[in-house]
Structure 1
Amino acid sequence: MKAFADLIDALTLTPSRNGKLRLMVEHFETQPDPERGLALAAITRDLDIRSVKPAMLRDLMKDRIDPELFRFSYDYVGDLAETISLVWPGPNDGGTGDGALEPTLSEVVGRLNGATRQAGPKLVEAWLDQLDSSGRYALLKLVTGAMRIGVSSRLAKQALADFGGQDVAEIEELWHGLTVPYEDLFAWLEGRGDKPVSAAKAPFRPVMLSTPLEESDYGIIRPAEYAAEWKWDGIRVQASCDRGVARLYSRTGDDISGAFPDLMDFMTFEGTLDGELLVATPTTERSGKPKVEGHAGTRRDDIVVGTFSDLQQRLNRKTVSAAMLKRFPVFLRAYDLLFEDGEDLRALSFAERRKRLDRFADTLEPTRFDVSPFVPFETFEDLAAYRKNPPHAVIEGLMLKRHDSTYVPGRPKGPWFKWKQDPYLVDAVLMYAQRGHGKRSSFYSDYTFGVWTGEADAPELVPVGKAYFGFTDEELKQIDKYVRDNTIERFGPVRSVRAEPDHGLVIEVAFEGLQRSLRHKSGVAMRFPRVSRLRWDKPAAEADRLETLQAMLD
C-alpha cells in the first residue's frame, strides 16, 4: 500500500498536468504486476468495491472519537477520507497496530472483493490501525471510489501512452476490452508481448476535436472548402452498436449507457455515431411524442430542444426514475458516422461521411435521432451574423469543418474549428462561500453570487449563479480572507457573507449563456459561469440588477 499511498499523496499535491503524468509513468515503471494495474484501475475508477460504503466508515468513527468532535472536524476539512485519515489513531500517533504488517494493494483489493458487507468494514478498521496518515487516506479513497486527485481517466491513459511510447488513441480503442489489472496491456507497452486484441463489442473510438477560431484564422474559412453547423449546447457523445451490443460513451470514453435507457432502447443499428446528446422538451402534440427542431437530411421539424439545465437533470445519475424519463427525454443529434455495418469510415472525407450519415439517419427512430443541419453561407460575414444571433437559445456558436477532412483522433489544427459566442459579463455581489475539495479543502473557493432586485430604495440580492474557477491562487487567498473577515452566518461548510449596498465584494462574472429557470428564485440559470475578475474598486450598490439579466433573455 505504501507505493500506492505515496502516488495518491503526490498526485493530490501536484497541480501541473505534466507533473501528474511523470508521477504515474514513474509508478508504472517501478511497480510490479498486479500492483500497478490495480493502482491504475483505482485512478480511472474502474474498481468497484461493494463491501464498504461511506456510511459504514462513519459508523467506525463512533468508537474512536466523540461524534461531535468528528462532526466539527469533518465540517472543517470537507472530505470524509481526509478527515478519518487525520483523526484516526495510527502506528505513529498512539495507535496499537504494527506498521510492518502493512498490506499490499493487491491484498486489500482481493480481500475486500471477497468480503461481505459485515466483514468489509472490519477489514478496513484493522488496516486503518496499521497504516500511517497517508496510507489511511489512500485506503479510504480506494474503498469509497472518490478519487478527487485531479486525474481524469483520459489523463491516466495518456500516462500509459507515455510509458509505452504509444499513441493514446490506440489505448483508448483497446480500453473497454481490457480487464483489471491490465497485465496484457503492460506486457505490450513494455515490449514483452503482443498488442492486446480488444474483446469488447461496440468499443469507444477516440474522438476528433475542434480548435477555437482565432482572428488570424478568419481568412481561411471559404464557403467552397468548409461546411458550417450549429454548435449545440449539450454533451458530446458517441453511440456505438456492434453485433447486438450497444454502448453510449462520453467524449472521454466513459461508458454512460446506464444513465440513458430511453436512448439505449432505440440503439439497434450497426455502426458508430458521433453527436450531441440533448433533451427533447415533452409535448402533448403529435401523439405525445417529444418534439425536436429537425434537420435537412430527414426534412423534419417536429422536435423542440430543451436547455442544458434540462439535460443536467439527467447527468451523473446511477438510476433514472420513470418520472425523470418522461419529463426530460433525451435524443442524439448526429454530427458524424464513424462506422457502418462494420466498415470503418474515418478515412473518408467529411463530405462523404456526411452523405452516408444522411442515408443512415433515415433508418433510425426519429424521436431519438436526427442529424445536425448545415448552415448555408456565402461569405464570412454571413457566419459572423449567424454567430451573433443564432436562431435557438440552445446554440452556443458555430462549428466549421473542411469538406475534405478525415476523422483524426485528437485536436488537429485546421480541419475543424469552433466559433463560440463571446461570453456575457455581469457584475454580481458575493453572497455565500463554501470550502473546496482536495488542495482547496482549507479555502473557501466555491462562490454563490447575486444581483439586485426590488425597489431602488430597498434593494435585495437574489442568487443567480455559482462559480469555483477563473481566479488565480493569489486571488483565492484574498477572497478566502475576505470571506472569513465578513462572515455573518455559518451553515456547515458554507458561510454567508456580508452583502449590502454599502458593503460587499463585487465579482465580474463571465458566462456562456442564459436561460429561464423555474428552479431558481431569480428565474434565470447561467451556463458555465466563472469569475472573470474581482472588482475591489466597485461599490456593491453599483452591481447589476436582475432586470439586466432578464433583458439578455429577451
Structure 2
Amino acid sequence: MRAFAHLLDRLSLTSSRNAKLTLIKDFLGETPDPERGWVLAALTGALSFNAAKPAFIRKAVESRMDPQLFAWSYDYVGDLAETVALVWPEKPGANREPDLSEVVESLRTASRSEVQRLIEGWLDALDADGRWALLKLMTGGLRVGVSARLAKQACADFGQVEIGQVEEVWHAMTPPYGDLFAWLEGRSEQPSPDAPGRFRPVMLAQAIDEAVDFAKLDPADYAAEWKWDGIRVQAVSERGEKRLYTRTGDDISATFPDVVEALTFEGAIDGELLVMRDGAVASFGDLQQRLNRKTVDAKQLHAYPAGIRAYDLLLDGETDLRGLPFRERRARLEAFVDQAASPRIDLSPIQPFATWEELAALRAQPPEGDPAIAEGLMLKRWDSVYEPGRPKGPWFKWKRDPRLIDAVLMYAQRGHGKRSSFYSDYTFGVWREDETGTRHLTPVGKAYFGFTDEELKQIDKFVRDHTIERFGPVRSVRADLEFGLVFEVAFEGLQRSTRHKSGVAMRFPRINRIRWDKPSREADELSTLERMLD
C-alpha cells in the first residue's frame, strides 16, 4: 500500500501531464505483478467493489470518534477519504500493513457484513497516507488528474509501443493485466484482441479553430454531417455476441435491451445513441431518462424508444474496415444499414457544401429546425482511415456557439481533491415574479468550471464573506435585488424539466465570465429562458 499511496500523493500534487506520465511509467517498471496491475486498474476505473460503500466508511469512523466532531471535520475538509485519513485514531501495536493485492482480493470477495471489520483493521494498521490511498481505492474516486487514456499512454511509453496497440487489446484484458505486462516487457507476443463482441477504440475529433484551420483546409477534402446530441456508442454483433458500448468502452447493453435486440447484423457500427420516435430525434433530456439505469421497465421502453444513428462502419461481417478511407467506409455503411433494415438503426446523412461560407450557413440552421437535437457539425476527411484516439487533422468538430445568460450566485459547495478547501461548485439562479409581482431568484443550474485558479480564490472569498446560512458543506450566499455576484453562464442546450423548480434544465453549463461590474437586479429573467425554449 505504501508504494500506491506514494504514487497517488505525487500524482495529486503534479499538474504537468508529462510529469504524471513519467511517474506512472516509472511505477510500472519498479513494481512487481500483481500490484502494478491493480494500480493500473484503479487509475483506469476498471476496479470497483460492490460491497464497499461510503456509508461503511462513515459508520467505521463514527464508531471511533464523536459523530458530531467528524461531521464538522468533514464539512471543513470536504473530502471523505481525506477527512477519515486525518481523524482516524491511531492504534499502536495494530496488525501489519496490508499489501495492495490483499486489500483488492479481500474486497472483491467480502460480503457487506465483513466490510466494516476489514476497513477498521486496515485503517488501524496504516498511517495517514496509507489510509487516504486505501479509502480512495475503495470509493473509486481517485481524483489525481489521471484519465484512463493517460494511464494507457504511460503503458505504451513503458513498453515502447504505440498507444493504439495498447487500446486495441485493452478490452480483451482483465486486471491485474499479467498478459499485458508480459507483452510490454518483451516476454511474450502481443495479446490477441480477437474476442467476439469486443470493443474497438474510437476515433475522436479535434475542435476546429475557425480563424486558423479554414484558411488551410480545402472544403472538397471533407464530408460534413450533424453532430447529434446523444451519446456516442459502438454497437457490435459478432459471432453470436451482441454488445452496446459507450465511447469509453463501458458496456451499457443491459440498459438498452431494445437496441441490442435490433442488432441482427454481423459487424460493428459507430454511431449516436438517441431517443427516436417515427424517425424524428428527441432531445437529450429524453435520452437521460434511460441513462445510468441498471434495469429498464416496459413503460420506459415504450415512452423513450432508443435507436442508433450510424456514423461509421468498423466491421462488416468478418472484414475489418478501419484501414479503409472514410469514403469507402461510408459507401459500405450505406449498404450495410440498408440491408439491416432495422427500425432502430438509421443513417446520419452527409450534408453537401462547396465552401466554408455555405457550411457556416448550414451550421446556423439546425436539423428539423430544432437546435436541441444537434450540437453542431462534424467534418471528416474523405481519405481518413479510422484511427484510435484524437489525431490532428482528419476529423474536426464545429460546435454551435453557446447560449449565454446572466445569473446570480445563490449557493456554493466545497469541491473535491485539490479544491476541497475552496467553495468551487456554484448553484445560480435567475429572476421570476410571483403572483404578487415580487421578484425572487429561482435556481436554474450548477457549474464548477470555466474560471481560473485566481478567480476561484476571489469567488471563494466572496462566498465566505457573504454567507447567510450553512447546510453541511453547502453555503447560502446573499443574493437579492440589491446585492449579489453575477455570472455570465454559457450552456449548450435547454430543455423543459419537471424535476427542477424552475421548469428548465441546462445542458453543459459553465461559467463564461464573472460579472463583478453587473448589479444583481440586472440578471436575466426566467422568461428569457422560456423564450429560448419556445
Q: TM-score, normalised by structure 1?
A: 0.90
Tell which deviates more after alignment, 526-535 or 5-14.
5-14
Change (3 A) 1:16 1:96: same
In the other structure, the counterpart of 1:200 is: 195
| Aligned amino acid, residue 110 of structure 1 | E
| Aligned amino acid, residue 84 of structure 2 | I
Change (3 A) 1:73 1:363: farther
In the other structure, the counterpart of 1:359 is: 335
| Aligned amino acid, residue 523 of structure 1 | G
1:180 aligns with 2:145: no
| Aligned amino acid, residue 168 of structure 1 | I
1:222 Cα offset (Å): 5.1
In the other structure, the counterpart of 1:410 is: 389
| Aligned amino acid, residue 228 of structure 2 | W
CA distance in structure 2 between the partners assigned to 1:389 and 1:550 by the alignment:
20
Q: Is the 8 A contact 1:221 1:380 kept in 2?
A: no
1:496 aligns with 2:476: yes
| Aligned amino acid, residue 307 of structure 1 | S
Describe the superposition over 1:171-229 as per-residue Cα deviations: whole angstroms up to 9, x where unpaired. Answer: 11111111221122112112222211235322222222222222233246655432221
In the other structure, the counterpart of 1:479 is: 459
SS in 2 for 1:411: coil
Q: TM-score, normalised by structure 2?
A: 0.93
Q: How does 1:415-454 map to 2 (within 5 A)?
A: 415-454=394-433
Change (3 A) 1:112 1:420: closer
SS in 2 for 1:401: strand
Change (3 A) 1:17 1:250: farther
CA distance in structure 1 between the partners assigned to 2:139 and 2:145 by the alignment:
16
In the other structure, the counterpart of 1:545 is: 525
SS in 1 for 2:280: coil
CA distance in structure 1 between the partners assigned to 2:50 and 2:223 by the alignment:
49
Q: Is the 8 A contact 1:28 1:36 kept in 2?
A: yes
Change (3 A) 1:113 1:309: same
CA distance in structure 2 between the partners assigned to 1:39 and 1:363 by the alignment:
45
CA distance in structure 1 between the partners assigned to 2:88 and 2:493 by the alignment:
46
| Aligned amino acid, residue 165 of structure 1 | Q
| Aligned amino acid, residue 265 of structure 2 | F
Percent identity reads: 63
Question: Which of 226, 231, 235 is 2:231 aligned to?
Answer: 235
1:350 aligns with 2:301: no
CA distance in structure 2 between the partners assigned to 1:460 and 1:52 by the alignment:
43
CA distance in structure 2 between the partners assigned to 1:325 and 1:88 by the alignment:
47
SS in 2 for 1:248: strand
| Aligned amino acid, residue 431 of structure 1 | M
SS in 1 for 2:112: coil
In the other structure, the counterpart of 1:326 is: 302
SS in 2 for 1:236: strand
Tell which deviates more after alignment, 72-81 or 437-446.
72-81
Number of residues of Structure 1 aligned to a counterpart in Structure 2:
529
SS in 1 for 2:351: coil
CA distance in structure 1 between the partners assigned to 2:504 and 2:234 by the alignment:
31
Tell which deviates more after alignment, 344-353 or 516-525.
516-525
CA distance in structure 2 between the partners assigned to 1:487 and 1:338 by the alignment:
55
Unaligned 5+ residue runs, structure 1? Answer: 281-290, 292-301
Tell which deviates more after alignment, 79-88 or 425-434.
79-88
Describe the superposition over 1:51-83 as per-residue Cα deviations: whole angstroms up to 9, x where unpaired. Answer: 433332232223201222223333333333222
1:386 Cα offset (Å): 1.4
Change (3 A) 1:271 1:492: same
In the other structure, the counterpart of 2:20 is: 20
CA distance in structure 2 between the partners assigned to 1:73 and 1:238 by the alignment:
45
Change (3 A) 1:219 1:51: closer
Q: How does 1:2-401 map to 2 (within 5 A)?
A: 2-90=2-90, 95-98=91-94, 101-198=96-193, 200-213=195-208, 214-219=210-215, 224-280=220-276, 291=277, 302-364=278-340, 366-390=342-366, 391-393=369-371, 394-401=373-380
SS in 1 for 2:293: coil
CA distance in structure 1 between the partners assigned to 2:290 and 2:408 by the alignment:
30
The 4+ residue runs of structure 1 with deviation greater than 6 A are none
